[in-house]
Structure 1
């Protein structure tokens, strides 16, 4: 069950998390009153207590390493779909490396079930959380929030974490609804009676609870947590594509609503919208289509092992961390783009005659709406898609 294979995706997670706040301020809806409201909405998780010294600057810029966390606090309506109420752990984690020249970036996903070493860290109430060995990755967030997760990431990788951005699922619903839903291709019907999740196969425009169900479900879709990470990346790609479409950017009210929902959902060490906007300006030349994503090389513990059901991060991950430290590309050769939702109008977009929840494509196989088109042969891409609950490219 190793997952070291490349899974590059044409995604704009960075744009979703950072640039939209800048756009909201910079496109005419950014009155001071609106700006202040966004600023008040931002959550602060405190500064990172670094384990790793930041490198000495060697020029006008240095690489940036940003920890992006999808949090699974389940106190919102529809969030507790897997029966794990109130856990508050980091459901998904991406370590995003942005090159010093700001011309390229890649992200490495770390599974929530990976067993790691946790360093001593400080809880939000000021108490000390002791170090521990062989604990699940997401426990750090549940116990100590994003700053503890950042220290844990530094211990695992040896890489200084410059910033963190945590996005909660309660606000995720609001962001999806703010842009009129997101068009997603589902290869096989999701029929999960245990959690009351039913999503028909086909290309559909998902809103509200359906969108949340899609990104949260893991028990009735392929490859459990690892497949869910791929589908979350795919959904964020589709969401960002929708946000950056004319249907959103030319509608100030829609953009303002999205920016408001986004600001309500973020916890970060960056203290203000101005700080996020400055980070966005710094990355204005970054081509979102060039961002690659992979899952850290890992394998499942064998059945019968005391850690069965958990994952072990493989030594091959050290090569990835070294590439980040040396500000080298993820791969020596340029990788092809991966899952990429179509930019054409879909249901809920201007110019589309489809109703918001209408099935647009009854035949998911071969759909052009967000099918994986990454590197490898067609057969390899199709197998990778099938293994992770995504639609296959032709």
Structure 2
């Protein structure tokens, strides 16, 4: 069984979330009536009960660590598109680190099937969720919601979580439709009879359901869950680029539709659109394509092991968490940057993709040949760079 990295169903990146809410309030469509409508749409999962103390400020700003979650509920309209029943867990988890200078950011994906320790936490209804050892990562959300997942993240990483945002199925579809679809390159036709997902090869403008099919599929595309994670990150970068393009920003109705769909579908500890706008304002210098992604180092338990089919997080992950705590870049800036195996989302190829989930993070990032880039793209269901 391949390593489960992140769900192909509900994905979101913070650059889309906070930037669009900021723009919705700060532009001409940000009337009080519209502001109030967005504000009333926001869902709250409660405040984080921290396990880790916040670090002392080292200057005018300190780093931000934001937990971005995709939930697997199927009870929203149009969510049960494949006959699968969601358990309400967090199928997609990205810990986003924004540098203190707000000029750079990177996200670490945490596998939903990783076995971890869960601390005691409190569910939104006040129920106490007991601590447990060796449980699946996504159970914390199913049992205790985003605040429980935030505490679990602090236990795993030692990093204080400043905020969380969670998005459901319906929000993803609505967001893509609101911007008129996203242009995606598919190298080989996707033919998944089991889940009724069919997409032809070539470059296509994918709208809601097709976009959801693209990021969900793993059964008939390369590299199973790892490849699916790569395609999700590709799609998110392309979506963010579309959102911030002139085609969206110069069309107030499209911008308003996107912000409305987004606000209907997110749950956050940030209490208002004004709070999200303030958060977005701090990150206005971040370009969507500049955010790096990495998967926490992990490996599958071997066949025959009682935990076969699940993952364990490797000791190399400690280097990742230490980088975040010290507000260091994801990779050594003195090392030769590894070229992306794919091109820009505005072209017919894919944007930057993360390195292998098992690569030691502390190792220098090595350059790769065009042939290696092409193979990497093919191995993960992405179009190679032209």
Between stretches 86-95 and 252-261, larger displacement belongs to 86-95
Report what 2:247 is aligned to: 247
TM-score normalised by length of structure 2: 0.89
The DSSP-based 3-state class of the residue aligned with 1:44 is coil
- Please list, as runs of the form range in 1=range in 2, the aligned pairs for 1:1-394 lying within 5 A after superposition: 13-81=13-81, 83-333=83-333, 335=337, 338=340, 341-343=344-346, 368-370=348-350, 372=352, 376-394=368-386
Alpha-carbon distance between aligned partners in 1 of 2:131 and 2:157, rounded to the nearest angstrom:
16
1:336, CA displacement in angstroms?
A: 5.4
Contact 2:222 2:379 in 1 (8 A): yes
1:290, CA displacement in angstroms?
A: 2.5
The DSSP-based 3-state class of the residue aligned with 1:330 is coil
Contact 1:67 1:163 in 2 (8 A): yes
**CA RMSD for the aligned pairs?**
2.0
1:2, CA displacement in angstroms?
A: 9.8
Alpha-carbon distance between aligned partners in 1 of 2:180 and 2:343, rounded to the nearest angstrom:
19
Alpha-carbon distance between aligned partners in 2 of 1:329 and 1:39, rounded to the nearest angstrom:
34
1:332, CA displacement in angstroms?
A: 0.9
Contiguous gaps of at least 5 residues in structure 2: 4-11, 355-366
Greater RCO (Cα-Cα under 8 Å, separation 6 or more): 1
Report what 1:7 is aligned to: none
Aligned residues: 363
- Per the alignment, do residues 156 and 107 of structure 1 end up closer, same or farther by CA in structure 2, a change over 3 Å counting? same
The DSSP-based 3-state class of the residue aligned with 2:383 is coil
1:77, CA displacement in angstroms?
A: 4.3
1:78, CA displacement in angstroms?
A: 4.2
- Per the alignment, do residues 223 and 80 of structure 1 end up closer, same or farther by CA in structure 2, a change over 3 Å counting? farther
Contact 2:216 2:228 in 1 (8 A): yes
Report what 1:356 is aligned to: none
1:82, CA displacement in angstroms?
A: 5.0
- Return structure 1 stretches of 4+ with deviation > 6 angstroms: none
The DSSP-based 3-state class of the residue aligned with 1:391 is coil
Contact 1:372 1:381 in 2 (8 A): no
The DSSP-based 3-state class of the residue aligned with 2:164 is strand
The DSSP-based 3-state class of the residue aligned with 2:96 is strand
Contact 1:289 1:337 in 2 (8 A): no
Contact 1:2 1:298 in 2 (8 A): no
Alpha-carbon distance between aligned partners in 2 of 1:328 and 1:132, rounded to the nearest angstrom:
32
Contiguous gaps of at least 5 residues in structure 1: 4-11, 345-367
- Per the alignment, do residues 78 and 391 of structure 1 end up closer, same or farther by CA in structure 2, a change over 3 Å counting? farther
Between stretches 80-89 and 179-188, larger displacement belongs to 80-89
Contact 1:178 1:258 in 2 (8 A): yes
1:32, CA displacement in angstroms?
A: 0.3
Alpha-carbon distance between aligned partners in 1 of 2:312 and 2:223, rounded to the nearest angstrom:
16
Alpha-carbon distance between aligned partners in 2 of 1:370 and 1:55, rounded to the nearest angstrom:
37
1:391, CA displacement in angstroms?
A: 1.4
TM-score normalised by length of structure 1: 0.87
Alpha-carbon distance between aligned partners in 1 of 2:2 and 2:161, rounded to the nearest angstrom:
26
- Per the alignment, do residues 192 and 288 of structure 1 end up closer, same or farther by CA in structure 2, a change over 3 Å counting? closer
